[in-house]
Amino acid sequence: MHEEKILVIDYGSQYTQLIARRIRENNTYCEVLNPSSLNKKEIYSNVIGVILSGGPSSVTNNDTYDLPDLLFKKNIPLLGVCFGMQLICKKFNGIIKESTSREYGKAVLEITKDVKIFKGVNKSIEAWMSHGDSVIKAPKNFTIIASTNKKGLSAIKSDNKEIYGIQFHPEVTHTLDKGKIIFNFVNNICKSNGSWTTKNIIENQVAEIKNKVKNDHVILGLSGGVDSSVAAAIIHKAIKDQLTCIFIDNGLLRLNEKNQVEEGFKDFKNIKIIYIDSSKLFLKRLHGITDPEEKRKVIGKTFIDVFQSEAKKIKNAKWLAQGTIYPDVIESAASSDNAHLIKSHHNVGGLPKDMNLKLLEPLRELFKDEVRKLGIDLGIKPKLINRHPFPGPGLAVRILGEVREDYADILRSADDIFIKMLHDRGLYNKISQAFTVFMPVKSVGVTGDGRSYGNVVSLRAVKTIDFMTAKPFDFPFDFLEEVSTRIINEVPEISRVCLDISSKPPSTIEWE
Ligand code: XMP
């Protein structure tokens, strides 16, 4: 039970999770809930504030979303952003004008009233707008506190309650308030006690894990990714040798993956990590399979088979730990209410259903950036924590068509050169995900005096916030030339290096 929290009600804005992260950055716990939750009495306990998100709906032609009286009963501070502001206006009988055109992009906001929410914010700032409908008359007993030279009112406040509406998006960095609007709402209006800190999260989780697990044993599938690594670290802190991590090499990992995990956990005394090399089994089962979804299925099933047979050897194992994080939880909840985001990928290490183990998910309440901070504080090496995401099916979705051991070896060597060069040039942390893709086609080259006939690889590097959309990374040309030369010189099977410059959409980040 959290001693205090802010609720973020999700009306389907692409920025909802960003609002939640901004609140967390102010050391305050928050939860993202569906609009229908507002009708449930039990959600209001320990709530110090509510933020209504933006969203694609219009209040002028739909009655789907109405704010219930229950929300106003305890005088909990309320902030409506965009669509959220329009809902507040609708509730208190302001006038909202339907519009066919959107006000989208930057606008200059003039702050006209000295109010708590704008404390420390310059009187005139650039703000990010993204709305169709506009509030043209504030409700009775509300005051206009900011406006732009564009259409509609930009911010309002109730005269006698802590109820605010803003038409722009304070959560995005394009709004140049230096984070002060959300800071003010959280700290000066909701009066948060700021207790959501990495130190407290670790202490609370450690106590909770101890309390749940008691003398039982926990098993965890360690993949080398951030989430499973941090889950392992916090559980290890809580119950030490009652945790056994199982690291399965499926033959589709990056070069020296096992060493990277060992290196990452170097400072963890006595952490039990069992390394299983099942690459032969995986590659055998993948033989002749070319369809990407089929490859994913085979890998998922094989993973469970191997994991299960290893787990059986561990006595008294009652718990299966997983690195589920908060966006996974929100997305599966959202798909049952206002379905706007449905996760298309499931991690391979899913729960083997017939294992009869209880689930332990110590990161369920955390965003990725919080998980990373926790990992560092728990003592995992930063290089492991800051790695780009790597898909569960590994190189199988980066080798087009049939997966073969020799292809995987060639790809691993090329990818290692690319990734090391990104580190050396200080580019790795500027990119969200970078990797190399193997194409099972041959192309002619000239090496020395003769003709060579080798494979083709493509480099892929993208920038993205949420992996739902992505842009290709803009490389300096000399860097590309150098990677290409090095890969062709150092990996004799490769004769040609290409660069993938597609965006997502319409392409995906992975090639399969
Ligand atoms: P796409 O290719 O769909 O990828 O644009 C978006 C993100 O998801 C990762 N990805 C996967 N992760 N199992 C995973 O655990 C998968 O089957 C899978 N497929 C793609 C991809 O690496 C990117 O970060």
What is the pLDDT, as a whole number, of residue 150? 65
- pLDDT of residue 267 exceeding 60: yes
Q: How confident is the model at residue 343 (pLDDT cuts 50, 70, 90)?
A: very low
**Model confidence at 507: pLDDT above 50:** yes
Say how far apart CA 78 and CA 1 lie, in whole Å.
Answer: 22
How far apart CA 463 and CA 316 sit, in angstroms, is: 44
Is residue 169 part of the annotated active site? The answer reads yes
- How far, in Å, CA of 394 to CA of 397, rounded? 6
Q: Specify the length of the chain in residues.
A: 512
Long-range contacts of 480-484 (CB under 8 A, 24+ apart): 482/421, 483/417, 483/418, 483/421, 483/459
323 lines ligand 1 (CB under 6 A): no
3-state class of 80 per DSSP?
strand
Structural domains of the chain ordered from first start: 5-189 (3.40.50.880), 198-385 (3.40.50.620), 399-500 (3.30.300.10)
What percent of the chain stands above pLDDT 90? 79
Listed range (283-297, 334-348, 446-460) with the worst mean pLDDT: 334-348
End-to-end C-alpha distance for the chain, whole angstroms: 42
Q: Please identify which of the residues 31, 103, 162, 171 carries the catalytic annotation.
A: 171
pLDDT tens, residue by residue, 46-99: 999 999 999 988 888 767 799 999 999 999 999 999 999 999 999 999 999 887
What pLDDT is recorded for position 485?
97
Cα 119 to averaged position of ligand 1 atoms, centre (Å): 42
Beta-strand pair 433-447/450-463: antiparallel
Of the listed 4, 30, 82, 245, which one is catalytic?
82
Residue 352 pLDDT:
59
Distance CA 271, CA 426 (A): 32
pLDDT per position as a tens digit, 176-208: 898 999 999 999 999 999 999 999 999 999 999
Q: Which residues are bridge partners to 446 per DSSP?
A: 451
Task: Tell me the helices (H) and strands (E) count for the chain, helix number first.
Answer: 13, 20
Region label for 356, one of left (φ > 0), alpha (ψ between -120 and 50) or beta (otherwise): left
- Higher pLDDT, residue 351 or 184: 184
φ/ψ bin of 104: left (φ > 0), alpha (ψ from -120 to 50), beta (otherwise)? beta
What's the 361 CA to ligand 1 centre distance in angstroms?
21
What's the rounded mean pLDDT across residues 121-135?
A: 89
Active site residue 208: no
Instruction: Flag whether pLDDT at 260 surpasses 60.
Output: yes
Helix (H) or strand (E) holding 433: strand 433-447
Q: In the annotation, is 171 catalytic?
A: yes
Q: Name the active-site residue from 4, 31, 131, 169.
A: 169
70: three-class secondary structure by DSSP: helix
**Choice from 324, 467, 500 to test ligand 1 binding pocket (greatest atom count within 8 A of CB):** 467
pLDDT at 348: 37
State the DSSP H helix or E strand holding residue 22, giving kind and residue range, or none if neither: helix 16-25
Residue 227's region, left for phi above 0, alpha for psi from -120 to 50, else beta, is alpha
